[in-house]
Amino acid sequence: MSALELVVRHARVATAADIFEADIGISGGRIVALGLNLPAGAREIDAAGRVVTPGGVDAHCHLDQPVDPPVRMADDFDSGTRSAACGGTTTVIPFAAQRKGGTLREAVDDYHRRAEGRAHVDYAFHLIVSDATPRVLHEELPALIREGYTSFKIYMTYDDLKLDDGQVLDVLAVAREHGAMAMIHAENADCIEWLTRRLEAAGRTAPRFHAHARPMLVEREATHRAISLAELVDVPILIVHVSGREAVEQIRWARAHGLKVFAETCPQYLFLTADDLGIDDSYLGARCVCSPPPRDASNQRVIWDGLGDGLFTVFSSDHAPFRYDAPEGKKPGGEEVAFRHIPNGIPGLETRLPLLYSEGVLGGRITLEKFVELTATNPAKAYGLHPRKGSIAIGSDADLVVWGEGEFVLSNERLHHAVDYTPYEGRTLRAWPALTLAGGEVVWDGRDFHARAGRGRFLPCGLPTLMPGRRGA
């Protein structure tokens, strides 16, 4: 064996399959050896007594995604991937969003320009299909899938993004034909609009009424409809940001009927409730306005159960970063606006892994193997990046997290995003990455971030490998 550039020694290696003691030998940015008593490397990291997991794959985050002025996302590829790395995430998959009337190709080209030379960790793109023209369906999507954009998000709500059921069927048919992964945002747009108008007519416009306009029913109905549309086309789907029991029940029903329905959930459905949007009419609740909204403690328990028992495939942040006290953020134009106009989304890229590790693994709710599966291995498989990403195996990229354990109180000051708050301010955490390695380079050492914008590269995705028997499996 030629000399190893780096050895991470005495690691307690955790994969989605097992946990074992090993040294990890790294050269050329990849894992090249795994075993006990590896020869000395040119550099050594002592991980004795530490858990080492694959770098996280955050398969649902929004970075520098164009939105209507004056609103603007706080994180671009520089600050967003910096924040990701400091929280143990070494691959991000944000969204190249088609504008209605525009082409997918324009969206992809624009998004590459935004990422180029700025990312600190590797990245791939999902597409958002908001205008399913014949050209998009029959020319652009097939070509882009071949080029490595193998997943696309379909919205059932939001005026500027949503597709009607017929259009959803058209897009699902393309996913089926080419073996791509369709992600679905399931909320019933008409119900939300109807409820919003009634709330507005009654003068109920404070942030907390965002949750009243999007009750569980609107997610349940759309989840059932998405499942039915996928059944009609006979194609697997992945339902994103599942928030509570009634949507979970629909997915369990689908699985029991043999349908391939994958599901994602996010930290906000474990750690926030609707009370975080306000128990009175204070505008502070705008900080936690996201869709679907956080529910209540009993729904949180259902989500925890689903993480433990295999209902959920993927755990993502849905990082959608808007500053609170800013005219380009939660106070558009400097105003405290009615909930309908509050930009939807909360930051979470950096806190995703530490929250789940602290409360899930150290809290005894999920195993360490399940943690790795949900946060790294399955997202890599779902979006065609495995085994290069999401695994600790010979040949995989040397993207690793060496965990540090110990209690501390989280505050926004220690985070690296460009957002002026965290929804998890004041929460006691029990773990944080002591080291993050991306391609064998230490990008975070537990105290300092080692910046090299542009070290992150674009990753063309293969077809999903979560679906045995289908292309790409």
- Containing 157, the helix (H) or strand (E) segment is none
Q: Is 429 helix (H, G, I), strand (E, B) or coil?
A: strand
Shortest distance, position 293 Cβ to Zn ion, whole Å: 12
Residue 344 partner contact from Zn ion, ligand DUC, none using kind-dependent CB cut-offs of 5 to 8 Å: ligand DUC
For Zn ion, the nearest residue by Cβ is 185
Contact status: 320 vs ligand DUC (CB under 6 A): yes
Query: Is residue 434 within 8 Å of residue 403, measured between CB atoms?
Result: yes
Residues contacting residue 60 through CB under 8 Å, at least 6 positions apart: 93, 183, 240, 241, 264, 266, 314, 316, 317, 318, 319
Shortest distance, position 226 Cβ to Zn ion, whole Å: 12
List the one residue from 72, 126, 185, 245 that touches ligand DUC (CB under 6 A).
185
Contact status: 291 vs ligand DUC (CB under 6 A): yes
Shortest distance, position 240 Cβ to Zn ion, whole Å: 5
Contact status: 350 vs ligand DUC (CB under 6 A): no
Q: Is 458 helix (H, G, I), strand (E, B) or coil?
A: strand
Residues contacting residue 138 through CB under 8 Å, at least 6 positions apart: none
Residue 290 partner contact from Zn ion, ligand DUC, none using kind-dependent CB cut-offs of 5 to 8 Å: ligand DUC
Among positions 259-318, residues that touch Zn ion (CB under 5 A) are 318
Q: Is the peptide bond before 464 cis (omega within 30 degrees of 0)?
A: no
Q: Which is nearer to ligand DUC, 185 or 287 (CB)?
A: 185
Q: Is 78 helix (H, G, I), strand (E, B) or coil?
A: helix
Residues contacting residue 454 through CB under 8 Å, at least 6 positions apart: 117, 118, 119
Q: Which is nearer to Zn ion, 15 or 344 (CB)?
A: 344
Among positions 60-119, residues that touch ligand DUC (CB under 6 A) are 62
> Strand 400-409 and strand 51-54: pairing?
antiparallel
Q: How many residues of this chain interact with Zn ion, rule: CB under 5 A?
A: 2
Phi-psi region of 260 (alpha: psi -120 to 50; beta: other; left: phi over 0): beta
**CA 50, 56, 58: angle at the middle one, nearest 5?**
160
Nearest of 99, 193, 95, 189 to residue 149 by alpha carbon: 95
Contact status: 299 vs ligand DUC (CB under 6 A): no
Q: How many residues of this chain interact with ligand DUC, rule: CB under 6 A?
A: 8
Q: Which is nearer to Zn ion, 31 or 183 (CB)?
A: 183
Contact status: 223 vs ligand DUC (CB under 6 A): no
List the one residue from 55, 80, 321, 345 that touches ligand DUC (CB under 6 A).
345
Nearest of 160, 153, 162, 227 to residue 188 by alpha carbon: 162
DSSP state of 301: H
Shortest distance, position 318 Cβ to Zn ion, whole Å: 4
For 308-322, give the DSSP string.
HHTS--EE---B---
Q: What span, in angstroms and rounded, lies between the C-alpha atoms of 218 and 468?
A: 32
Nearest of 330, 332, 326, 325 to residue 344 by alpha carbon: 330
Contact status: 290 vs ligand DUC (CB under 6 A): yes
Q: Which is nearer to Zn ion, 211 or 429 (CB)?
A: 211
Give the number of other CB atoms < 10 A from CB of residue 334. Answer: 11
Contact status: 455 vs Zn ion (CB under 5 A): no
Q: Which is nearer to ligand DUC, 24 or 154 (CB)?
A: 154
Shortest distance, position 361 Cβ to ligand DUC, whole Å: 26
Residue 223 partner contact from Zn ion, ligand DUC, none using kind-dependent CB cut-offs of 5 to 8 Å: none
Place of tokens 């064996």: 1
Q: What track of x and - describes contact with Zn ion for positions 156 through 195 (by CB under 5 A)? A: -----------------------------x----------
Question: Footprint of ligand DUC on this chain (CB under 6 A)?
Answer: 62, 185, 290-291, 318, 320, 344-345
Question: Footprint of Zn ion on this chain (CB under 5 A)?
Answer: 185, 318
